[in-house]
Structure 1
Amino acid sequence: VSLDFPLNFHPTRFQHLLNMGWSFWRRWCRCRECVARVGDHHECLRRWVLSSYYVGGIGLTLPRVQPLAVFSLGAYDTGTINGVIAMQDWLNVFGDYDPTGVLGTSTHGRFITTSNKSLVVSILSAGTFFGALLAFPMGDKIGRKWGIVYSCIIFSLGVGLQLDTHWATFVVGRVIAGVGVGLVSCLVPMYQSECSPKSIRGLIVGGYQLAITIGALFAAIVLNSTKNRPNHSSWRTPIAVQFAWAFILGGGMALLPESPRFLVHKGRLDEARRAMSRLTNTPADSTEVDHEINEINAALHEEKSAGSGSYLDCFRSNSLKYSLRTWTGILLQGWQQLTGINFIFYYGTTFFQSAGISNAFIITIITDVVNTAMTIVGIQLIDRAGRRRLLLWGAVGMSFCEFIVAIVGVTAGKTTDTGGAVNLAAQRVMIAFVCIYIAFYAISWGPVVWVITGEISPLNIRAKAMSLSVASNWLWNFGIGYATPYLVDTSTKGQPNGVATAALHVKVFFIWGATCACCAVYTYFFVPETKGLSLEQIDMLYENSNALQSTKYNRELQAGEHNEKHETSSHEAAMKI
């Protein structure tokens, strides 16, 4: 089926596509149980530790949880929409006409107003905010696994609506797609945290951020290949590619076991044993599986004694510090957005153009490559350097780089002092420090925040606390995405259809530099070190320690566990003798 639909897009064709998708889904459901049985009975498949990344993860990984290629629904969309709204054919369909040529950059007199640009870019984040809040009832009622599958279906519906040529349908499609993104952005890290071994939990959950960076990079590549097409396929193709990521994630998740911790929480202990058996590659009746299930069960009973698990309990001050843990997740997600990273990925191309850089699109691809490469480094460091240390040094490094970019941009400007020639040295310094800033983010606040918010909440309130944390992320994402054009764009007040803006341009980096400094202060006083601890041991850390003492107490917990294992193995050896 061609994506180059005529302007009078007939609804029957769209219905035909939906019918094809529904027919394929029904056939897939019939095959799912057979495939699952194959996975249960073949040793080669049983050795695959099952994990899924934030969209596009095939759902099956190599032994010991080495992920396959993954992509991000939200990040791919973030990378796509900024390029789509600059495409000539998209402007012809959705833009306004400016006969003077003053307001728009289009050679055909078409442009998008500041208000419409803010709306179409940020409205997806509004949908994700509500999707994140819906993740709690979905994740606790039908489970983490099937919650992710149904989220992919919701997302696909939103993508389909964005292929239409009516403004209202396009915007509604972005809202619905945002709901799907919000659901998976909450459920996937939760599922990963509950299914990953503690020794590599940071690596696995950090892969969520890697998926985001790969999604943004892939979006830039797709846009570059379609931007010059003269018809609707120039913008419909990048949008339609998102069907593939939703299918891969949803289809992969259908093959995975449910979270053992969710099953224990629901009292389905036999199913929990089978799921744990698949995840650890050990028999369901083994002592290792018994130990894990008993530990989860004991922690759950202790958590239930501290509260019923309602939203009110998320903010209860008790011995397990529910309130502190919930607010830590909420504020960390907010601070992550206030690092200013989405300014680069939402409006980076526009910023580089305004700075006088001729090939801004190539620079955008370079920043995406830096982000992806350094995220790979970052997720390797999470379980080695530790969460707290990475957040502290990452915030300090980002703050320094952003102040340098702002100072160079303000003092050097676009031109030299002597005669209007482009100041190449200033441009190169700005590009270099933007890339270094992105590198600091990619090894710290990018992956680490998702790891911490996925692991610090007690099982009894995890779904609710996680939904609140992710909702905070997308609420700030929406606010920044909506406000940025009004902060950065040149004011057109006095022109027809013009709008007054702050016109900060590069000065906006002073704001991001200050907020990154605040990130470092917040981390120092409120974020504990959870490296190497099981989810149940994190309960002990919060009960008996605080952020400033957490590194020392963390070492004591791990040393005590090591001694306990050594004594157990010595006792078993003595019994054999």
Structure 2
Amino acid sequence: MAGGAAGTGGGIETSSLLWAIIMSAFAGFGGILFGYDTGTIGGIIAMNDWLMTFGKFDSSLLDNGNNGWYIPTNDKSLVVSILSAGTFFGALLAFPMGDKVGRKWGLVASCAVFSLGVGLQLDDKWPTFIVGRVIAGFGVGLVSCLVPMYQSECAPKSIRGLIVGLYQLAITIGALLAAVVLNATKNRQDHSAWRHCRSLFWGNRWGDNLVFITLVPIAVQFVWAAVLSGGMIMLPESPRYLLLKNRQAEARRALGRLMTLPHDSPEVEAEALEIATALAVELKADAGSYIDCFRSTENRNGFRTWTGILMQGWQQLTGINFIFYYGTTFFKQAGISNPFIIQIIADVVNTVMTIVGIQLIDRVGRRRLLLIGAIGMCLSEFIVAIVGVTVGTPHQTAAGLVVNITAQRVLIAFTCIYIAFFATSWGPVIWVLTGEIFPLGIRAKGMSLSVASNWLWNFGIGYATPYLVDQSTTGVNAVKAANLGVKVFFIWGGTCVGCLIFTYFFIPETKGLSLEQIDLLYRESTIIGSNEYRKKILAENETFVKTYVHEKEKVEEDQHHDDGSHEKV
């Protein structure tokens, strides 16, 4: 607990750990919006009815088991990646939304935007479907920035990694839910395969009082938006945002709710003073504009902003969304008989290992987890690539298609191992760091730039991957493609080497520090030596208030000595 006028560097701590987790879990629910949409589109583009609704017919494909209907590579790229185009602009606008409207009400407004996009995707006209994905993406972009911002500003420092990691866990749960729903509807030969399923009901054990349910795989996303917005309405606003706006009384009430203490208690007052002091120092040095995000200041704003932008880009360059966007079609091309089941297995691994990962963030540390994850992903992806190009590619013979079952199992196993390393490291940790590395004065702007980087890379990779992986087609709708197939994993393995190097030189260790203590770490330490300095902060119980007051007194003392020397001369 904080205590005394100067505080103790405890950060926002609470006497009710369950209450802190419940509050943050509501915000973290926003990850389901993105995760479910990602999983939905990945399965929908492989369904016969969706292909017949939006695709094209080619009689030469009649023997391949898809009734001759297919979606051209350019349309596949567009429908998958266009959501990320919307999320890019949504993330950029998270700054005015978060700083003008607030973290809490910004999330509520984002849910309304997302719901509009979902509604448009229920139409069976291609332009309307695409516009719907853009608008839904805009809402997801807002949510993806505001959720970790709100969580990092409200979470107790001792479990901040776990709580912010809940956002990534929600993404994986959303993808898993989508895979399960789509697996249940994949064999339907009408719009119920991807728009609605009328086979779900429940009742008591005697079979009466049955309730008929219409489940819409796309429109069920209305439920996710309603849960997130409804939960946020009941939660307090971020106290750091309220202090940024100089709403002192509201900030103390919000801190009181988060710390489960009276708003006028000494602990709440000390924590408010710690946040306000750090904010005052930041605003004195920086005006808080976008230009200030890139200035080389005492707070190292430029370095911190570029770190956020680049680490979000490297997260996408691990290649993880290749599996969740195109996993079903990739496994199908690899000769696996039931790619939908394999996709569910991949989603289960992702979800389970994310649960493991978010519990390791505050124990193992951010920096160490990222280093371990980069090494594990790199090795797994190179193994997938090597096995795939040597013995794992199906080939046609006179007797039919020959598939190496052992090689298939190796591909599936190491794909799952690769997902496991991502889920315990680069999945949740990047969102945790994005929420905590920026000073309060530029946090909304810095986070919006960083998350926008994520979605820009997401869009580029999502759009380019079919051209890298697919075979070239002929005829009227011919499209040239690189036909890399499983060889694309050589690219992802190489980028994971880049992730390893970037982490070593750019990512500090912030485990156990309050947001204001992280400001101290950036001001006083190097990246490579950050773990030792972090231990010093915790051992000596340094706070921003104590350090700033000490430095100020030292400066005044030096000035006094200088004045005395002048007088003697």
TM-score range, shorter chain: 0.7 to 0.9
Tell whether 2:318 aligns with 1:347.
no
Tell whether 2:135 aligns with 1:155.
no
Quote the Cα distance in structure 2 between the aligned partners of 1:103 and 1:70: 43
Tell whether 2:429 aligns with 1:470.
no
Task: Report the Cα offset of residue 417 of structure 1.
Answer: 13
CA RMSD of aligned residues (A): 2.2
Among 279, 288, 296, the residue aligned to 1:309: 288
Map 1:45-64 to 2 at 5 A: 48-49=19-20, 58=26
- Tell me what 2:421 maps to: 440
Tell whether 2:164 aligns with 1:205.
yes
Task: Report the Cα offset of residue 559 of structure 1.
Answer: 0.5
- Tell me what 1:264 maps to: 243
1:75 to 1:92, Cα distance in 2 relative to 1, 3 A: same
- Tell me what 2:492 maps to: 512
Task: Report the Cα offset of residue 361 of structure 1.
Answer: 1.2
Map 1:290-305 to 2 at 5 A: 290-305=269-284
Quote the Cα distance in structure 2 between the aligned partners of 1:234 and 1:248: 25
Which one-letter code corresponds to 2:467 in the other structure?
A: Y
Tell whether 2:251 aligns with 1:280.
no
1:99 to 1:354, Cα distance in 2 relative to 1, 3 A: closer
Report if aligned partners of 2:34, 2:171 keep a CA contact under 8 Å in 1.
yes
Task: Give TM-score, length-normalised by structure 1.
Answer: 0.85
Among 43, 51, 62, the residue aligned to 1:83: 43
Task: Report the Cα offset of residue 70 of structure 1.
Answer: 7.4
Quote the Cα distance in structure 2 between the aligned partners of 1:262 and 1:50: 20
Report if aligned partners of 1:104, 1:110 keep a CA contact under 8 Å in 2.
no
Task: Report the Cα offset of residue 359 of structure 1.
Answer: 1.6
Tell whether 2:432 aligns with 1:451.
yes
What residue ranges of structure 2 are gaps of 5+ in the alignment?
1-14, 196-215, 545-569
Among 380, 383, 390, the residue aligned to 1:401: 380
Map Cα deviations across residues 437-471 of structure 1 (whole Å, 9 max, x no partner).
10000000000000001100000000000000000
Task: Report the Cα offset of residue 98 of structure 1.
Answer: 2.1
Report if aligned partners of 1:46, 1:278 keep a CA contact under 8 Å in 2.
no
Which one-letter code corresponds to 1:89 in the other structure?
A: D
Task: Report the Cα offset of residue 526 of structure 1.
Answer: 1.0
- Tell me what 2:549 maps to: none
Report if aligned partners of 2:516, 2:543 keep a CA contact under 8 Å in 1.
no
Report if aligned partners of 1:340, 1:512 keep a CA contact under 8 Å in 2.
yes
- Tell me what 2:461 maps to: 480
Task: Report the Cα offset of residue 428 of structure 1.
Answer: 1.1
- Tell me what 2:516 maps to: 536
Task: Report the Cα offset of residue 99 of structure 1.
Answer: 3.1
Tell whether 2:442 aligns with 1:422.
no
Map Cα deviations across residues 21-76 of structure 1 (whole Å, 9 max, x no partner).
xxxxxxxxxxxxxxxxxxxxxxx9998337666xxx545xxxxxxx8x77511111
Map Cα deviations across residues 113-151 of structure 1 (whole Å, 9 max, x no partner).
111110000000000000000100010001000000000
Quote the Cα distance in structure 2 between the aligned partners of 1:183 and 1:524: 30
Task: Report the Cα offset of residue 110 of structure 1.
Answer: 2.1
Range with greater deviation from structure 2 (458-467 or 234-243): 234-243
Which one-letter code corresponds to 1:456 in the other structure?
A: I
Quote the Cα distance in structure 1 between the aligned partners of 2:65 and 2:232: 44
- Tell me what 1:111 maps to: 70
Which one-letter code corresponds to 2:140 in the other structure?
A: V
Task: Report the Cα offset of residue 281 of structure 1.
Answer: 0.3
Tell whether 2:126 aligns with 1:167.
yes
Task: Report the Cα offset of residue 211 of structure 1.
Answer: 0.5
Regions of 4+ moved over 6 Å = 44-47, 416-420
- Tell me what 2:218 maps to: 239
Quote the Cα distance in structure 2 between the aligned partners of 1:143 and 1:280: 20
- Tell me what 1:549 maps to: 529
1:50 to 1:258, Cα distance in 2 relative to 1, 3 A: farther
1:71 to 1:104, Cα distance in 2 relative to 1, 3 A: farther
Report if aligned partners of 2:468, 2:488 keep a CA contact under 8 Å in 1.
yes
Give the 3-state SS of the residue equivalent to 1:274 in structure 2.
Answer: helix
Quote the Cα distance in structure 2 between the aligned partners of 1:210 and 1:81: 19
Quote the Cα distance in structure 1 between the aligned partners of 2:62 and 2:184: 29
Task: Report the Cα offset of residue 416 of structure 1.
Answer: 9.4
Tell whether 2:181 aligns with 1:222.
yes
- Tell me what 1:98 maps to: 58
Quote the Cα distance in structure 1 between the aligned partners of 2:243 and 2:525: 27
Quote the Cα distance in structure 1 between the aligned partners of 2:17 and 2:45: 46
Give the 3-state SS of the residue equivalent to 2:149 in structure 1.
Answer: helix
Tell whether 2:156 aligns with 1:177.
no
Whose relative contact order is higher, 1 or 2, with alpha carbons under 8 Å and at least 6 apart?
Answer: 2
Among 223, 226, 232, the residue aligned to 1:253: 232
